[in-house]
Amino acid sequence: EESHCTSVAGMVKLLDLEAQLIDNLEDYAVELEKKLQTVKRSITSLRLENDKARGSTEDYLSNPLNSFSLIRRMNRDLITWQLYLDDPVGLSQVERIQELREHMPTHTDVEEAVTALDRIQNTYGLKVPEIAHGLLNGKQYNVSLTVLDTYAMGQILFDQKNYMAAASWIYQTVVLMDAFSLAAPLEISKNEVRMVYAETLLKLNQLADALKVVNIALTDNPQDIKLLLKKSEIETMIRTGTNNAPPVKAQATVGPTAYQVGCRGQFPPSADSKLYCLYNRTTSPFLILAPLKMELVGLEPYMVLYHDVLSPKEITELQGMATPGLKRATVYQASSGRNEVVKTRTSKVAWFPDGYNPLTVRLNARISDMTGFNLYGSEMLQLMNYGLGGHYDQHYDFFNNTNSNMTAMSGDRIATVLFYLTDVEQGGATVFPNIRKAVFPQRGSVVMWYNLRDNGQIDTQTLHAACPVIVGSKWVCNKWIREREQIFSRPCLKKRM
């Protein structure tokens, strides 16, 4: 599975593909036009001859040449016409669509895109009508959804049994239908949508509302059998107090979770006076020559932010290196002992060995300078690009030492270094809900934190997540540093727990 929507860079080729589809449709129109012109031209000359004859039928037919010609064309030409009309237009274009379909997004891609948009809505507490009109998290964009978009959202959320969300999107579709006129073959009927809306309300046990919707539809189409049947079905349900839908849980009215608050940029600013900014000239000798702007973000866990670490040229080179090889990111699953594609991490990644090229060598040297860690035995550099609503749900980067096959060689992930290659217009923060810290991507900056405590134990305060991107193409470069090589630079300290 290609999983198109999980990286912005990976979706670029879709636009190219769409252009090919449009060209193909145009070729089809040209073919159709040619045939149409042929038919029209023949009609003119045929009618001319026929009119002339009918002006003086006897005279016309007395001439042997006329009557011969009439007999001949009504037999032989007619057969030719029949064959011509029967010959399908644009078969090669129809075949071309079939070929192109292989590279097109699948139903699974659409489902993933629906889930992503729903995720953006939930995480940031957005309203469906606002999204539909291009108002995203308080910012108006010059783009809006069509009724086909909102209808697909509703239908697929319905199929996923997310009836609450489905109802909002289908209601939005009913509302939008007054303003939209769809052209064949893509038109949908208002009745069909109302019927689906009623069906969704039934799933939510809102019988009276469902009946109202059916009644409104009936005023437009009093004779519609399906609607009449639905009406009596709902009336029976109301009378007998039965509904085959399972009871719905009341929508929780609790406020946003700490994670959601963080994603929305609503954690209070830190009042800790031990947190400050400085030029780091000490972590490694190189920093005496080239000190780095450092901001202490937190002490437990230790977390720092470096600014202006990557140059625009380096960023462009990194993106260029990664783009052709981007693959859906995976997560280590303890249950299977393998790395697997999961719904909780939607991005694409490309891995680069330390000595891949001069840039990776330089980058790794810079990581050592910033952290004081020896990277021998650490994991490869990961270059990641997030896509539509791309995120990484709350997780820890450490394996936890019970997991011996991943940690046997080089130990656990003592620290994480995360470079931000791009600014993200909206969303996409890295959030630490337990310590109530959120780091928003800034092109060229780096966040680094310790996943293990001084005594080598895992630090559960490092729980973190990549919030869904709302608008932007979020690129990060990640390095997971392993603990074994740090035995002398950061020995386990028994006394501090």
Ligand X SMILES: O=C(O)CCC(=O)C(=O)O
- In 3D, which of 311, 350, 351, 326 has the Cα closest to residue 443? 311
Task: Report the residue number, 121 or 430, with the smaller CB distance to ligand X.
Answer: 430
Tokens of 161: 């049994």
Distance CA 179, CA 101 (A): 31
Minimum gap (Å) between residue 486 Cβ and ligand X: 19
Task: Report the residue number, 234 or 406, with the smaller CB distance to Fe ion.
Answer: 406
- Find out whether 385 and 348 touch, Cβ atoms under 8 Å: yes
Among 478, 479, 482, 483, binds ligand X (CB under 6 A): 478
Beta-ladder partners of 307: 293
- Find out whether 281 and 287 touch, Cβ atoms under 8 Å: yes
| Residue 452 binds: one of ligand X, Fe ion, none (C-beta under 5 to 8 A by kind) | none
Task: Report the residue number, 96 or 345, with the smaller CB distance to ligand X.
Answer: 345
| Residue 424 binds: one of Fe ion, ligand X, none (C-beta under 5 to 8 A by kind) | none
Minimum gap (Å) between residue 396 Cβ and ligand X: 9
Task: Report the residue number, 149 or 397, with the smaller CB distance to Fe ion.
Answer: 397
Distance CA 437, CA 303 (A): 10
Q: Is 458 in the site for ligand X (CB under 6 A)?
A: no
DSSP single-letter state for residue 77: I
Q: Is 197 in the site for ligand X (CB under 6 A)?
A: no
What is the full DSSP assignment across 153-189?
HHHHHHHTT-HHHHHHHHHHHHHHHTT--PPTTS---
Q: Is 412 in the site for ligand X (CB under 6 A)?
A: no
The rounded Cα 486 to chain-centroid distance in angstroms is 39
Minimum gap (Å) between residue 342 Cβ and ligand X: 13
Binding to Fe ion by CB under 5 A, coded x per residue (else -) over 104-123, reads --------------------
Q: Is 464 in the site for ligand X (CB under 6 A)?
A: yes
Beta-ladder partners of 465: 431
Site for Fe ion in 388-427 (CB under 5 A): 397
Tokens of 128: 């469906």
Minimum gap (Å) between residue 466 Cβ and ligand X: 3
Task: Report the residue number, 169 or 392, with the smaller CB distance to ligand X.
Answer: 392
Distance CA 387, CA 466 (A): 12
Q: Is 430 in the site for ligand X (CB under 6 A)?
A: yes
Cis preceding linkage at 285, omega within 30: no
Minimum gap (Å) between residue 353 Cβ and Fe ion: 21
- Three-state DSSP at 279 gives strand
Distance CA 380, CA 322 (A): 13
Q: Is 118 in the site for ligand X (CB under 6 A)?
A: no
Task: Kindly determine how many residues on this chain lie close enough to bind ligand X according to the rule CB under 6 A.
Answer: 8
| Residue 430 binds: one of ligand X, Fe ion, none (C-beta under 5 to 8 A by kind) | ligand X
- In 3D, which of 348, 347, 323, 343 has the Cα closest to residue 333? 343
| Residue 149 binds: one of Fe ion, ligand X, none (C-beta under 5 to 8 A by kind) | none
Site for ligand X in 368-397 (CB under 6 A): 392, 397
| Residue 147 binds: one of Fe ion, ligand X, none (C-beta under 5 to 8 A by kind) | none
- Find out whether 470 and 118 touch, Cβ atoms under 8 Å: no
| Residue 310 binds: one of Fe ion, ligand X, none (C-beta under 5 to 8 A by kind) | none
| Residue 198 binds: one of ligand X, Fe ion, none (C-beta under 5 to 8 A by kind) | none
Q: How far apart are the first and last CA of the chain?
A: 45
- In 3D, which of 193, 167, 168 has the Cα closest to residue 180? 193
Site for ligand X in 137-196 (CB under 6 A): none
| Residue 466 binds: one of ligand X, Fe ion, none (C-beta under 5 to 8 A by kind) | ligand X
Q: Is 466 in the site for ligand X (CB under 6 A)?
A: yes
- Find out whether 359 and 89 touch, Cβ atoms under 8 Å: no
| Residue 445 binds: one of ligand X, Fe ion, none (C-beta under 5 to 8 A by kind) | none
List of residues contacting ligand X (CB under 6 A): 392, 397, 418, 430, 464, 466, 476, 478
List of residues contacting Fe ion (CB under 5 A): 397
